[in-house]
Amino acid sequence: MKYLFINIISRGAKSNTYKFALAKFLLDYSKSQKLKEQDYQISYTEIAIKFLEYYWFQECKYKFKQDFNKDKMPKIIRIIQKYCGTEYISESFEKYFKGKEKIKLHMIEEIERECFNDVIPRFQPKDKNDYYQHFHKSLKSGNYSSSKKSYIILSKEALFCFKQEYEVLSKILVLEWAKFLEKTNFTPKLISKIERMKDPKRNSLIKFKTMLIEMNQECFYCGTILEQSNIHIDHFIPWSYIYEDEIWNLVPSCSRCNLIKSDSLPPKKCLIKIENRNKIYQLIKWNSSITDYYENCYKAGFKIINEERLNCDNF
């Protein structure tokens, strides 16, 4: 069973990443269950809930490009864009959907209806049910009703295998998923982002405050003299893109500019300023990298904030 799973995710034909997402669901579901002497019935709704979570992070947090051709975006991305827009979302998954239960339910229903017609029946080799039997009804528009829910029956043997081999299979899955996405993405830490696909715990930046203020006691963006109670540390290249805390990418900021900039890119003229700062403080080896990060972050879909909003005309 283990080697068949590896073969499916590493060699099987894929026009999108649905097989990876279904494989992740099977692994995560198996890990969470207690072993029992019977098979496990899983509704398509349960799978759709996790698909929404996986792809919401890819689209709304990490801005992964699923394909160079916008017309070939997977349906699940189109569904997420229809309800959540195309802008970066700074809120956590739970906070964003708080008070939006009806919208979330509509999204889950559409994912269940529109996204599983191929991947669930075809995940396994033809005419084989090594992992599950699927009870797949036509979920296309017009033929779907709550009384005709589809489901799979996951065998206890498959669940035991996934549970026992979880660590190994998860690492292989993440690697293959990253290899598929790296063809269309200009993003660092791709493996780490796929591995988590949940709201990450951010590290405190307090340890950098003294060093950065010694470099400059002004807000990097608007030039306001910073008071002790109004010192924020900002990631020049958004943290959600660069996914790490490094001094060459950190600048002191007032609370206003930090709030306005959020997870956008600063105006391009700021790039010269941070390159000069890094040169003065012997962080110059990163200057070529920060320019590449800036350009690739923009290509990935992150917006550039208007310089007038940050009062950047003073430099």
Strand partners, 232: 253
**Positive or negative CA dihedral for 210, 216, 218, 222?**
negative
Half-sphere exposure (Cβ direction) of 61: Cα atoms closer than 13 Å: 22
Cβ neighbours, 10 Å, residue 19: 22
**Could you state, in order of their start, the residue ranges of all structural domains in the chain?**
2-196, 206-314
pLDDT digits (tens, 9 = 90+) for 10-41: 987 788 899 999 999 999 999 999 999 999 99
Contact (Cβ atoms closer than 8 angstroms) between residue 259 and residue 208:
no
- Confidence grade of residue 144 (pLDDT, cut at 50, 70, 90): very low
Of residues 186 and 156, more confidently modeled: 156
CA distance 28 to 33: 9
DSSP state of 130: S
Of residues 139 and 298, more confidently modeled: 298
pLDDT digits (tens, 9 = 90+) for 66-101: 876 767 789 999 999 999 999 888 889 999 999 999
Tell me which architecture the domain covering 206-314 has in CATH. Orthogonal Bundle (1.10)
CA distance 207 to 218: 18
- 235 backbone dihedrals φ, ψ, rounded to 5°: -80, 115
Helix or strand or coil: residue 118?
Answer: coil
- Confidence grade of residue 313 (pLDDT, cut at 50, 70, 90): low
For residue 141, what pLDDT is reported?
46
Encoded tokens for 161 = 């295998």
pTM to 2 decimals?
0.84
Query: What would the mean pLDDT of 35-64 be, rounded to a whole number?
Result: 95
Contact (Cβ atoms closer than 8 angstroms) between residue 33 and residue 40:
yes
Contact (Cβ atoms closer than 8 angstroms) between residue 231 and residue 263:
no
For residue 142, what pLDDT is reported?
47
